[in-house]
Amino acid sequence: MKTLVFLEHHEGELLKPSLGVLSKAASLGGEVAGVMAGSDVEGLAAQAGAYGAGTVYVADDPRLDAPLPQPRVDVLAQVVQAGGFDNVFLAQSILGADIAAGLAARLDAGVNWQLTDVRADGDGITGTQPVLADTVVCEVGWTSTPRIALFRAGALDASETGGQATVEPVQPELQDFSLAAEMLEQAHEESSGPSIEDADIIVAGGRGLGGPEGFAPLEELAKALGGAVAATRAVVDAGWYPYSAQVGQTGKTVAPKLYIGCGISGAIQHKVGMQSSNVIVAINKDPNAPIFEFADLAVVGDVNEIVPKLTELVRARKGA
Ligand SMILES: Cc1cc2nc3c(=O)[nH]c(=O)nc-3n(C[C@H](O)[C@H](O)[C@H](O)COP(=O)(O)OP(=O)(O)OC[C@H]3O[C@@H](n4cnc5c(N)ncnc54)[C@H](O)[C@@H]3O)c2cc1C
Q: Decide which of 179, 209, 238 is a domain's last residue.
A: 179
pTM assigned to the model:
0.74
Indicate whether 76 and 124 sit together in one domain.
yes
Residue 38 has pLDDT above 70, yes or no: yes
The parent domain of residue 221 ranges over 201-318
The per-residue pLDDT for 320 is 64
The per-residue pLDDT for 15 is 92
CATH number at residue 136: 3.40.50.620
Classify residue 116: in a domain, yes or no: yes
Residue 59 has pLDDT above 90, yes or no: yes
Indicate whether 149 and 244 sit together in one domain.
no
Average per-residue pLDDT in the chain? 94
Indicate whether 211 and 79 sit together in one domain.
no
Indicate whether 155 and 23 sit together in one domain.
yes
Summarize the confidence of residues 170-190 as an average pLDDT: 91
Summarize the confidence of residues 60-84 as an average pLDDT: 97
Residue 213 has pLDDT above 80, yes or no: yes
Indicate whether 149 and 209 sit together in one domain.
no
Q: Render pLDDT for 10-31 as a digit per residue (tens, 0 to 9).
A: 888 999 899 999 999 999 999 9
Indicate whether 240 and 130 sit together in one domain.
no
Q: Render pLDDT for 220-259 as a digit per residue (tens, 0 to 9).
A: 999 999 999 999 999 999 999 999 899 998 888 898 999 9
Residues in contact with ligand 1 by the CB-under-6-Å rule are: 206-208, 232-235, 246-251, 263-265, 267, 269-270, 273, 283-286, 289, 302-304
Q: Whose CA is nearest to atom 47 of ligand 1?
A: 286
Indicate whether 207 and 174 sit together in one domain.
no
Q: To test the ligand 1 pocket, which listed residue (135, 218, 284) has its Cβ within 8 A of the most ligand atoms?
A: 284
Q: Decide which of 149, 179, 209 is a domain's last residue.
A: 179
Classify residue 188: in a domain, yes or no: no
The per-residue pLDDT for 307 is 98
Indicate whether 174 and 72 sit together in one domain.
yes
Indicate whether 26 and 172 sit together in one domain.
yes
Indicate the pLDDT class of residue 89, thresholds 50, 70 and 90.
very high
Indicate whether 64 and 138 sit together in one domain.
yes
Q: To test the ligand 1 pocket, which listed residue (152, 207, 236) has its Cβ within 8 A of the most ligand atoms?
A: 207
DSSP string, the chain: -EEEEE--EETTEE-HHHHHHHHHHHHT-SEEEEEEEESS-GGGHHHHHTTT-SEEEEEE-GGG-S--HHHHHHHHHHHHHHHT-SEEEEEESHHHHHHHHHHHHHHT-EEEEEE-EEEEETTEEEEEEEETTTTEEEEE--SSSSEEEEEETTSS---------EEEE------GGGGS-----------SS--TTT-SEEEEE-GGG-SGGGHHHHHHHHHHHT-EEEE-HHHHHTTSS-GGGBBSTTSB----SEEEEES----HHHHTTTTT-SEEEEEES-TT-GGGGT-SEEEES-HHHHHHHHHHHHHHHHT-
Q: Whose CA is nearest to atom 8 of ligand 1?
A: 248
Indicate whether 46 and 126 sit together in one domain.
yes
Q: Whose CA is nearest to atom 14 of ligand 1?
A: 269
Which residue would you say has higher pLDDT here, 134 or 36?
A: 36
Q: Report the atom number in ligand 1 closest to the C-alpha of 249.
A: 8
Indicate whether 23 and 98 sit together in one domain.
yes
Q: What percent of the chain has pLDDT over 90?
A: 81
Please count the structural domains in the chain.
2
The per-residue pLDDT for 177 is 96
Distance 247 CA to ligand 1 centre (A): 11
